[in-house]
């Protein structure tokens, strides 16, 4: 086993993943982010290892490379959530520790942490956390006891379970309106817009927003 080489590989994959998220996965932008040329130099080695392919300006991850990169990013972003949500760190304070975690967390531990945190969709910086097996399983489970707000009967009150959105702006807007997990929510009308009452305030929501709010299924 060559830990140092794995470390270099993981760091490179992480950079490439970020460039890809910003839609600028090219040789030129890698060089811009790599002034010492260390990672650019590694490209040839890892292309020989079947992790990535370089064709002129274009860099692409092979399926193997993508799988490894997904795991690294998932561990890094879950570690960030763990540090902020459970240990009360600020997102800025998480960086170094999260970078250590991403190399050492065992797969079983990753699933446990993800489950403990409620299968979060975004890291504290608002970047998406790639889903694991545990998240897919939990979607099925959650659907059985939880319904969408827009599937509730008009006039009924339930409690918010979770807000299911990848959209950080929308999430923050809902949170600022007081629509947070555990809060009682009454469905006042469904059409033309969804109107809910939360904390004695009536709020109109677009249907797509209402669909992203999950509430407990009430059998009454």
Nearest distance in Å: CB 109, Zn ion = 12
Nearest distance in Å: CB 199, Zn ion = 31
- CB within 8 A of 176, min separation 6: which ones? none
Spell out, one character per residue from 52 to 81, where the chain touches Zn ion: x when CB under 5 A holds, - when not.
Answer: ----------------------------x-
Q: How many CA atoms lie within 13 A of 78 on its CB side?
A: 29
Residues of span 9-48 touching Zn ion by CB under 5 A: none
Sign of CA dihedral 78, 130, 72, 172: negative
User: Is residue 142 within the footprint of Zn ion (CB under 5 A)?
Assistant: no
Q: How far is CA 13 from CA 42, 64, 76, 220, in A?
A: 11, 11, 12, 51
User: Is residue 134 within the footprint of Zn ion (CB under 5 A)?
Assistant: yes
Spell out, one character per residue from 109 to 128, where the chain touches Zn ion: x when CB under 5 A holds, - when not.
Answer: -----x----x---x-x---
- How many residues bind Zn ion, per CB under 5 A? 8
**Axis crossing angle, helix 63-81 with helix 95-104, rounded to the nearest 10:** 130
Give 46 or 119: the residue with its C-beta nearer to Zn ion. 119
Residues 217, 194: Cα–Cα separation, whole Å: 18
Q: Which residues make up the interface to Zn ion (CB under 5 A)?
A: 80, 114, 119, 123, 125, 132, 134-135
């Amino acid at each position: 086993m060559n830990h140092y080489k794995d470390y270099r590989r993981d760091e490179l994959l992480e950079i490439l993943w970020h460039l890809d998220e910003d839609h600028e996965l090219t040789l030129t932008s890698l060089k811009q982010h790599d002034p010492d040329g260390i990672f650019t130099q590694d490209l040839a080695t890892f292309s020989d290892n079947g992790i990535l392919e370089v064709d002129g300006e274009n860099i692409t991850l092979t399926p193997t490379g993508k799988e490894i990169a997904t795991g690294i990013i998932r561990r890094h972003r879950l570690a960030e959530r763990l540090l902020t949500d459970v240990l009360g760190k600020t997102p800025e304070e998480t960086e170094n520790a999260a970078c250590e975690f991403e190399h050492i967390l065992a797969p079983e531990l990753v699933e446990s942490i993800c489950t403990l945190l409620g299968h979060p969709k975004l890291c504290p910086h608002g970047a998406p956390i790639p889903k694991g097996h545990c998240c897919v399983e939990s979607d099925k489970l959650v659907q059985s006891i939880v319904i969408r707000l827009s599937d509730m009967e008009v006039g009924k009150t339930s409690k918010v379970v979770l807000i299911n959105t990848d959209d950080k702006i929308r999430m923050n807007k809902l949170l600022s309106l007081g629509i947070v997990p555990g809060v009682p929510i009454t469905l006042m009308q469904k059409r033309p817009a969804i109107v809910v009452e939360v904390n004695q305030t009536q709020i109109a929501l677009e249907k797509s927003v209402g669909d992203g709010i999950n509430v407990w299924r009430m059998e009454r």
